Amino acid sequence: MHLNFLEILSGFIVLFAVIDIFGSLPIIIDIRNKGGKVSAFQAAAISFVILIVFLFLGEAILGLFQVDISSFAIAGAFILFIMAIEMILGIELFKHDSPAGASIVPIAFPLVAGAGSFTTLLTLRAEFALINIILSLLLNIIIVFIVLKYTNKIERFIGSGGVYVMKKFFGIILLAISIRLFLSNLSTLLIDLIPKIKGI
C-alpha cells in the first residue's frame, strides 16, 4: 500500500470522465420532473458498494474465464476509447435502454456503476495501487452525491454551455488515457509472450 498523488489524480480523472455525472444531469432532471424520488445518499452509497465489490471480485471473476488483467485492460482501453469518441464527437454508440427508476435504477445502476465504470476499475487495477484507486473512486462518489443533492442549482450555475465544454474537455483527456493504457498493457503482454515464442 502506497499513496501516490498522481495515481489518485489520474484515476479520479478517468473515473470522472467515465461516470460523467454532469453529462447525466438531463437524465436526472427528467426523472425528478416525472415524479421520481432521488435520494442522493442512497444512490451514492449503493454505487460505491457495487463498484468496490467489483473492484475486489472482478479479478476472480475474470479468473473463471482464464482472462488476465492485462488482456482485460486492453479491452477496457478500447471501451474507454469509444466512450471518449462519443464525448468528443457528440455521437451515441452505447445504447442507454435501462428502464426508468429512481435512486437505485437507473441512477446507481447503471448510470454510475455500469459497464463503463466496471471496465475502468479493472483497467486501472492493472496500472495503479489499490489504495489509490479506492481513493479516486471515493472522491468521485462524493461528487456524485453533491451533484445529485444539488442538481437544480448546479444546472443553473454551470448552464448547458458549461456542461458541453466540460464533456468535450474530459473526452480528450479520456482519449489520451485510453491510448496510454492500451500501449502500456500491450507491452506487458508482448514481454510475457516473447519467452513463450522463443521456447516453441
Instruction: Express each pLDDT in 91-112 by its tens digit.
Output: 766 554 444 444 676 677 767 8
The mean pLDDT of 132-141, rounded to a whole number, is 96
pLDDT tens digit sequence for 55-89: 999 878 878 888 777 777 787 778 778 877 887 88
Does this model's pTM top 0.75? no
Whole-number average pLDDT of the chain: 80
**Mean pLDDT score, 120-124:** 87
Give the start-to-end residue ranges of the domains of the chain: 5-199
CA–CA separation, 54 and 92 (whole Å): 26
- The pLDDT value given to residue 101: 45
Instruction: Provide CB contacts within 8 A for 88, sequence distance 6+.
Output: 168, 171, 172, 175
pLDDT tier for residue 187 given thresholds of 50, 70 and 90: confident
Q: Is the pLDDT of residue 12 over 70?
A: yes
d(CA 76, CA 80): 6
How far lies 141's CA from each of 12, 79, 148, in Å? 10, 21, 10
Among the listed ranges 16-20, 111-115, 118-122, which one has the minimum average pLDDT value? 111-115
Say which amino acid occupies 165. Answer: V
